[in-house]
A and B are shown apart, each in its own frame.
Chain A
Amino acid sequence: MSDGIHPIASLLAAVARGISGVQVQWAGCQPDEKQRIYFTNHTSHLDFVVLWSALPPEIRARTRPIAAQDYWEESPLRRYLALNVFQAVLIQRGAMAQAKSPEEAHLVGRHLVEQMALAMGEKNSLILFPEGTRGTGERVGPFRGGLYHLALRRPDVELVPAHLENMNRILPKGEVLPVPMLSLLTFGKPLQLEHGEEKDVFLERAREAVSSLRRIGSA
């Protein structure tokens, strides 16, 4: 990938910031050029663009979202936005669940992690939505395993939890027109996979790290 930011991406980022009036808080860490995986709760199509736009431009140029292939390849426009504009890494969501045998599931999982690790390379960061799908915003749903496997595969990168608030009220799932409420984005303290930590324990800890950044009670 090139280091440049697509002009449409900059435009959409500005629009998303305007609509969401997002207030950004670096509570647990500071913006940094080192490789990171930002993982956050997912309630709206605006999530990625808002989080991405909150990063300083030089970091933004090297930060790619992980997105669901089935959704983003559905139409030429989505495909163009995902691949050309935001240089998303499209992965097959639920591929592991569809596998016929544990061995096949293992292989598929390894492939997905390899794909993400490859996309990171030596200098890129990733934005990951470990819930795997957009929720209603009432609570942060259970995390899927990708984050754990990626953390195993790339122990050198920082795992930064982030929490997006109110995005579900601005542009909820199933709506096309946004309501310009104010939102809040909080970055938490980076996590690390402990030596020998079990998958479920780690995923719950990561989920809790995101969930604990929530500041306003929901409706």
Chain B
Amino acid sequence: MLEAIHDQKLMWLCGGVLCLLVVSTVIGGILKNRRKTDASRSTIDNLNARIRAWWKMCAIFAVSILIGRVGSLVLFGLISFLAMREYMTLVPTRRGDHRTLFWSFFVIMPLQYYLLGIQWYGFFAIMIPVLAFVFVPTRIAISGDTEHFLERAAKIQFGIMVCAYCLSHAPALLLLNISGFEGHDAQLLLYLVIVDQMSDVLQYVWGKLIGRHKIAWRVSPNKTWEGFVGGVLSATALGAALWWATPFTPLQSAGMSFTICILGFCGGLVMSAIKRDIGIKDFGVVIEGHGGILDRIDSLCFAAPIFFHLVRYYFVP
């Protein structure tokens, strides 16, 4: 435990994040004093709320990653739980789904992280897409309520897939035995989270600065082409510049980061579509300025499993 402190590259990554937080807090403070109109005021207040929340999120994340593998598993397990809670609350379910939901929260989701804990990769990979896939509709059918049956089964399975299965692939990076990279897996997890979240942040920043042309205004009014291109390119450049903390060459790192950014965008878009369908803006109110947990990690849910498999396919012998 705490051996991560002696991992110099990990410390550099954490230090970089800290610098970024300090710089953005200073910029937020300067903007606050220069704001004029009411519209810009609310945007800047929201920006500062987001920055405050980033401090807290980074602190929690840093502590758990420094504790080691168990810390990361517990943190992501908790995030999965809270995200699934937000999701299931807002997705309409019926009385007949009660027991199925209980299983989802207290058996399937914890089991997924337990399997990571005991490093049983084979079972980890099939438990939710195969076993839970069979279990969920069966349990709903046993309850006897057949109204909207397929919708209910699909919605619950989708929630488990996104919140538990997909997200658990982020801490699963700690399980990989990459040759020549032993003992440094935490860097890879940090790399994924930094690139993914910075892609979100940079798309937001570019969008606010020069955003004009909406991508899919019906789904997500704040996503613009300028924000998308600027954000993806700058986050890819950032990811490429972090190659020293990964088993990748700079070019490989750029490719990986680009993939993470694109998938992160897809995750955000899909979750926005779900929110629009239900008729809400955010999944929750837990994180000041950001909305719910699920609003913050939607991009990670799509990026994590594919990044995991890319690394596993190309870098694990």
Contacts and interface: CB of A to CB of B under 8 A. Distances in A.
A binds B: yes
Interface stretch (A152-160, A175-183, A189-197): A175-183
Contact of A172 (B85, B89, B95, B106): B95
A87 interface: no
B272 to A, nearest CB: 19
Given A21-B85, A172-B95, A219-B92, A179 B284 contact: no
Residue of A168, A178, A219 with most partner-chain B CB within 10 A = A219
Main DSSP-derived SS at the A contact region: loop
Contact of B88 (A23, A168, A177, A181): A181
A89 B275 CA distance: 44
A40 interface: no
Given A179-B101, A179-B105, A181-B88, A219 B93 contact: yes
A182 B89 CA distance: 6
B105 A182 contact: no
Interface string B76-113: 00000100011011001111001101100110000000
B216 interface: no
Given A23-B285, A172-B98, A175-B98, A181 B92 contact: no
A177 B101 CA distance: 10
A181 B85 contact: yes
Give the most central of B86, B92, B101, B106: most A CB within 10 Å: B101
Contacts of B101: 179, 181
Contact of A181 (B89, B94, B106, B285): B89
A175 B81 CA distance: 21
Interface in A135-180: 136, 166, 168-169, 172, 175, 177-180
A219 B94 contact: yes
Contacts of B105: 179-180
A175 B98 CA distance: 8
Contacts of A177: 99, 102, 106
Interface string A182-213: 10000000000000000000000000000000
B88 A179 contact: yes
A168 B92 CA distance: 13
Contacts of B106: 177
Contacts of A172: 95, 98
A169 B105 CA distance: 14
18 contacts: A21-B85, A23-B285, A136-B95, A168-B95, A172-B95, A172-B98, A175-B98, A177-B99, A178-B102, A180-B81, A180-B105, A181-B85, A181-B88, A182-B86, A182-B284, A218-B92, A219-B93, A219-B94
Interface of B: 81, 85-86, 88-89, 92-95, 98-99, 101-102, 105-106, 284-285
Interface of A: 21, 23, 136, 166, 168-169, 172, 175, 177-182, 218-219
Given A172-B95, A177-B106, A218-B92, 7 more contacts: A177-B102, A179-B101, A179-B102, A181-B85, A181-B89, A182-B85, A219-B93
